[in-house]
A and B are shown apart, each in its own frame.
Chain A
Amino acid sequence: MNSIFGRFLMAFLLVFLTPANAKDSCYPEFEISKSIISNQSTDDGEDKSVFIYFDQSLSMQGYTKDQPGQNNLYVNVIDDLQQIAENVGSKTYYHSFGKTIKPIKENKIAQVIKPGFYECTGAASECNNQESKIHLPFKMAKANPDGTYIIVTDLFLADNQLVGGTLGQLTKPLKSILKKGKSVGIIGVMSSFNGTIFDIPTREGGTVSYTEAQKRPFYIIIIGDQKEINQVKKNLEEQHFTNPEDKYKFSLITSTPILQNLNDKKLISEKSIKNISNAEKFKFDYSPENLAVYKLNTNQKRKLNFLINNSDIIVPGSTGVSNFKIKETLWVSQEPKCKNINWKKSKFDQLSKWEQNENNLKIQMFKAVSLKKLFRGMRYFYVGEIYAEKPGTLSEETFKEWSIRPSEAEEFKDGNPVEFKTLNLTKIIKILNSVANNEFEPTLIASIALDFNLTK
């Protein structure tokens, strides 16, 4: 008996309730843009090769000599780099670079943390320690983009290395690397230093040396997938940067500073719009196309602020986003009931405004065109697609305090600093960022819809 009743009830529900629900979500016809966030390579590291390049210029020698009272992070980090590299890929190849790239045999790797590695007894023109052509490892990365590249350098680049053809030698391979979906991570580590810093530019146009520095940052540049870059960073943080006194900075140069599309992982919830769940007849759901749809009855006084945590959309350490665009459409129907619905597309193309602080992005919906400008008693359907339109400059700010401009270098040196800064660091980051920004494409972050009746 119960079974017959149950079947009857099911049939009743199917016949009467299902069409009712289907009719209830009578949306206007529109197409939702698809997320274009590229999924980075998901290959495991087993078949990947890791190429490590050590800057062999003489200025690097100071990192290898202990400075009393200072923590020598260079020696410790480089010592562990082999193990860290093995976590990322299956095979590791070591090279030094200066004037040219030279392979380092496995049994000679330990020499990298010895002062002798940076010395040259031959004629200066034959030596590899007189300059550091940082574009050479980038060229290698361009030639074989499947590998992961780790470059250890002091990034002390003179003005003439950052102009014209020399700059092009760096930016062209970088462009190609970024185009292939790779990113460049820069980890700056403040380490003890006991040596000579060469090629400090003077106001007269020459260069001078400085030997009094006790601390100086060195940089580990990682070219590869964001996943691998983060893995290297995480390993270093866990193994070496445990002491609060250890100073390190991280920046990610990438053409894809957007972490994810919020709809793909259904990260938009009813809490994303403050107090909206208090509205009359409120309902929240995802459409089959993953569009987050808020249904409600509202008056004209309601504030609709859609909040997105920066941490949900911005890749940590990256440039972030400096400009957003909201692609919006509003439909209106005089008749609110589904059976009589007759959607008309409004002429408003900008209904909302956005503002961003260090923690979140706030979309103030119906701020540009207030709800008060809409007619009560009608049903509205709003679709907003939020795009990241322009990359930011966060990573430039990160390294600002460790950077010195050539025009200030001599004066800085004359102040006998204990902690020496890196020449043109901000400029280098800016250049790298601008290349990344050129490759940036507007990226869809989130798509939301509001289906509402406007009441008194």
Chain B
Amino acid sequence: MKNIIQSITYSLIGLATISWIGIYLIVISVADPGPDSYIVGFFSDNIMSEERIQNLGFDNFAEISTSFFTKLFFHMNLTLAILTTLMTLAWCVASHYLNIDSPGKAKIYALHWLVFTGIFVGLVLAIVFYFTGSTQYSSAQAITKGGQFLLLVMSLLIYVLPYYLGVLLGTARFARSSVLFANKLPGGF
């Protein structure tokens, strides 16, 4: 149990190194960044179709950004953050229960880790598509195809990278060979 708690602590540290960006996005989304903020400007320039918005009579994206950030973007980031945390911790805890009773056996579980990670990446992609491409959120209609791709890449960076760092640090010591580059960590860690 002590090892598991230690694993969880390490994985949370790993997660925190990058996932603070996700937390920051969640906080500013729910608080509504406001029309003059940098993030609204960034979205206006790179994610949203200004032409569609202006054709409808709005001056720019800033005018309708509240519903986008307080609903779509907040919900999407919250979902991704919860998923990332749960998946990271799930692997780290589960790694302690892997049946590794002889040298070299941990490498067999590399395949399991790859499948698990694949499922996670797939879920991240599905969530981003659900929020930005489905009819669930009306403000998603203003997102361009290029903007949707950019959001996808950004989400992968913001959530898959901390997941990797989390599992890298949090995987049970005897199972580290199953995680890419985890066996390179110092022995005493």
Contacts and interface: CB of A to CB of B under 8 A. Distances in A.
Contact of B55 (A348, A376, A456): A348
Contact of B57 (A344, A373, A376, A456): A344
A334 B64 contact: yes
Interface stretch (B91-99, B122-130, B138-146): B138-146
Interface residues of A, number: 16
B57 A375 contact: no
Interface residues of B, number: 14
B138 A377 contact: yes
Contacts of B54: 347
Interface string B44-87: 00000000101111100000100100000000000000000000
A378 B138 contact: yes
Contacts of A373: 52, 55
A375 B138 contact: yes
Majority-rule SS of A interface residues: loop
A347 B138 contact: no
Interface string A309-345: 0000000000000000000001110100000000011
A375 B141 CA distance: 6
Contact of A376 (B52, B58, B138): B138
Interface in A65-101: none
A331 B57 contact: yes
A347 B57 contact: yes
Contact of B67 (A348, A374, A377): A377
Interface in A120-174: none
Nearest to B141: A375
B52 A332 contact: no
Interface in B117-138: 135-136, 138
Interface string B171-182: 000000000000
Contacts of B142: 375
Nearest to A346: B57
Nearest to B64: A334
Given A334-B64, A334-B67, A374 B135 contact: no
A375 B139 contact: yes
Nearest to A343: B57
A336 B57 CA distance: 16
B135 to A, nearest CB: 5
Contacts of B52: 373
Nearest to A377: B138
A381 B55 CA distance: 15
Contacts of A334: 64, 67
B55 A346 contact: yes
Interface string B23-59: 0000000000000000000000000000010111110
Nearest to B71: A377
A63 to B, nearest CB: 65
Given A334-B64, A378-B138, 13 more contacts: A332-B57, A334-B67, A344-B56, A347-B54, A347-B56, A373-B55, A374-B56, A375-B64, A376-B138, A377-B67, A377-B138, A377-B139, A456-B138
8 contacts: A330-B57, A344-B56, A346-B56, A347-B57, A348-B55, A373-B52, A376-B138, A378-B138
